[in-house]
Structure 1
Amino acid sequence: MRDQPPYPPPPEDVLEIGAPEQFAALSHPLRQRLLFALGHRPATTSQLAAQLDGKKGNVAHHLKVLREAGLVHIAGTRQVRGGTEQYYQRTARQMVVAEPQAAGTAAMFAAVAQELDRSPAETHLTLRHLRLSPAKARELGETLAQLVDEAEEHAEDQPVHGVLVALYQQARPTSATSSA
């Protein structure tokens, strides 16, 4: 098969994001979408450009930034008529941002918004604010993480669905805004 990479699927591991170059790499929506696209199987620059409706040179530039930040790597190569094709792969199946930074978070939300806009199926998006004790918030966070981690994947011929989980505590209003 011409479009199948010549190596096994990525390992089941977790990468914690924390280095400045990683946050810089995550601060662009196309790089977020590239990471989404590489979530299940390695791909070449040409395959990614076609999948994301982008220009090959632009995709190559953003892959280089992701590679330099340690978020993707070259997982294999294959000789083709015009030279050598490189297959890119995420360095981890799951990437966890322990202390999110505004630019990376904004880019991730922008990338998710683009994915939602392009979705051919009905989407589900809910924002709800709850009053929770610290213990209940921790319990909810653990339950959500477990639910996502334990979701069973189906065969490769099934569509890919994105799941974004966020649990955060709202900042309290400052005295200047609460007295107005």
Structure 2
Amino acid sequence: MPTEEVPETLHLTTDEQLRAVSNLTRHRIMAALRFEPATITQLAERVGLAKGSSSYHVRLLERAGLVKVVRTRKVRGVTERYYAMAARTIVLPDPGEGGPDVLMRHAVADLEAARTDSERHVRMAHLRLTDEQFAQLGARLEALADEYRELSDPSLPDTSLVFALFRPAPRRQAEGDAK
């Protein structure tokens, strides 16, 4: 399916969609589909699942409207379905105060599972920014991610870029702390 036929953005709004993306295996299936369509067998190989498990998770993603069949073909009397993402970008609602941030949990799980014998860039910086600087930095990070997404070549190895720009909750003084 040509990229121009895929909507740019899908905003997740239903409980079914949120349940579908909250599972790490389904998150990894969606990541495997980000550049090109794949069959259940191909997804099972890419994600390291049994074919039946892959099929189960893809059906849940399809039912939630996150992936769709983009082409079929007959192979030895069986219809082979190729699945693709329903949109180039999936947007989750803000988890709200104290709510779980599904994307960051998946990113940490992917980072922990990543090969440690290859180059990695992981950094955390604590900054003090004005509201304007905060907004500018957020826009620059998003533009940089978009720029490199456009340069992505499906024939190259997967690379994940994760960033979180946020203002932490105010620190509360513990009882007995000096004021």
TM-score, scaled relative to structure 2? 0.83
Task: Give the match for residue 8 of structure 1.
Answer: 2
Task: Give the match for residue 36 of structure 1.
Answer: 31
1:97 aligned residue (92, 103, 120): 92
Distance 1:103 1:156, change over 3 A: closer
Q: What per-residue deviation string (whole Å, max 9, x for no partner) do you get for residues 43-92 of structure 1? A: 00100101111111111111111112111111111111151111111011
- Deviation of 1:156 after TM superposition, in Å, equals 3.8
Instruction: Name the CA distance, whole Å, in 2 between partners of 1:93 and 1:75.
Output: 14
| Identity percentage of aligned residues | 33
Count of aligned pairs: 172
Does structure 2 conserve the Cα–Cα contact (< 8 Å) formed by 1:141 and 1:167? yes
- By relative contact order (CA 8 Å, sep 6+), the higher-ranking structure is 1
1:76 aligns with 2:75: no
Structure 2 unmatched runs, 5+? none
Does structure 2 conserve the Cα–Cα contact (< 8 Å) formed by 1:44 and 1:85? yes
- Deviation of 1:41 after TM superposition, in Å, equals 0.2
Instruction: Name the CA distance, whole Å, in 2 between partners of 1:90 and 1:29.
Output: 16
Task: Give the match for residue 144 of structure 1.
Answer: 141
Amino acid at match of 2:28: R
Amino acid at match of 1:40: F
Task: Give the match for residue 107 of structure 2.
Answer: 109
Task: Give the match for residue 4 of structure 1.
Answer: none
TM-score, scaled relative to structure 1? 0.83
Task: Give the match for residue 163 of structure 1.
Answer: 161
Distance 1:137 1:68, change over 3 A: same
Amino acid at match of 2:2: P
Structure 1 unmatched runs, 5+? 1-6
Q: Which moved more, 1:20-29 or 1:151-160?
A: 151-160
- Deviation of 1:8 after TM superposition, in Å, equals 3.3
Calculate the aligned-residue CA RMSD, in Å: 2.3
Task: Give the match for residue 3 of structure 1.
Answer: none
